[in-house]
Amino acid sequence: MTILDQLAGHARERVAASKSAVPLEELRLQALSLPKGDYGFEKALRKDGLSFICECKRASPSKGLIAPEYPYLQIALDYEAAGADCISVLTEPKWFLGSGRHLQEIARTASIPCLRKDFTVDEYMIYEAKVLGASAVLLICAILTERQIREYLHTCDELGLSALVEVHNEAEAETALRAGARIIGVNNRSLKDFSVDPDNSRRLRALIPREVLFVSESGVRSAGDVAVLRELGADGVLIGETLMRAADKKAALAGLRGGA
């Protein structure tokens, strides 16, 4: 069993426990009672130039504890002040030490769109994301069927949320396109063995039509890396560990933005 299988399995356990506390229909009605979202995440990616999605992440399965001190709200505000276009917030609690509360507080405080970064295995998690204040959710092709992706995209549209559909290879990219993804994220890190191949974005870029937003995820460490992605025609870049390990996150993001 891969780490990704374990993450997805644990997500299903979390959903089952949450449904016991708040049934699906109750949560759905709560989400639908809120003002419909305006697809702010997509709008941020459609601006001229490369957009920066900066991540709040305390730990990861491959690197363990990344940020012993984790003032997530201040980190998010630092990102915003430094010119981030969106904030990605980990809510997976076991391996990433995330929390829905982190997302809720950041979404209430920051004025830029937030992505709920989690392992979406049930529509319940999309309604949760809406209630927590997210503008977008992550859908990972490797743990979902094409039918599920299509259904979850419909749920997102019902709520006015964007969906970052993550792929890692050619077959997953084709699945995402058939399902109707408007934003495709190419993960340069394999979620099966956590190896990083920065060239993955270049290989898959040619498969993604220009009208579909293209985001490169993982392995971006320098302004040079950012410049390469700009030349590839990426619309956005998601940066996590590089920023989380930086003592001065504003300066680190300013340095990376120099490559854009």
Q: Please state the separation of Cα 95 from the chain's center in Å.
A: 16
Catalytic residue among 60, 88, 135, 187: 187
Catalytic residue (one of 42, 51, 57, 135): 57
* 43 is an active site residue: no
On whether the CB atoms of residues 113 and 44 are closer than 8 A, the answer is yes
The yes-or-no answer on residue 187 being catalytic is: yes
Q: Are 129 and 102 in contact (CB under 8 A)?
A: no
Helix (H) or strand (E) holding 160, with range, is none
Q: Is 172 a catalytic residue?
A: no
Catalytic residue chosen out of the listed positions 42, 92, 172, 217: 217
Place of tokens 């990376």: 256
Instruction: Indicate which residue of 117, 123, 201, 249 is catalytic.
Output: 117
CB 212 within 8 A of CB 218: no
The one catalytic residue among 55, 80, 128, 172: 55
Residue 190 designated active-site = no
Residues 6+ apart with CB under 8 A from 182: 42, 162, 163, 212, 213
Active site residue 250: no
Which of the residues 60, 135, 201, 218 is marked catalytic?
218
Question: Considering Cα of 246, then 250, then 251, then 252, what sign does the dihedral take?
Answer: positive
* Catalytic residue, candidates 42, 166, 172, 241: 166
Active site (annotated) includes residue 166: yes
Distance, CA of 185 to chain centre? 8
195 is catalytic: no
Strand partners, 88: 55, 115
Burial of 117-138, coded b for 16+ CB within 10 Å and e otherwise, reads: bbbbbbbbbbbbbbbbbbbbbb
* Single-letter code of the amino acid located at 42: E
Catalytic residues: 55, 57, 117, 166, 187, 217-218
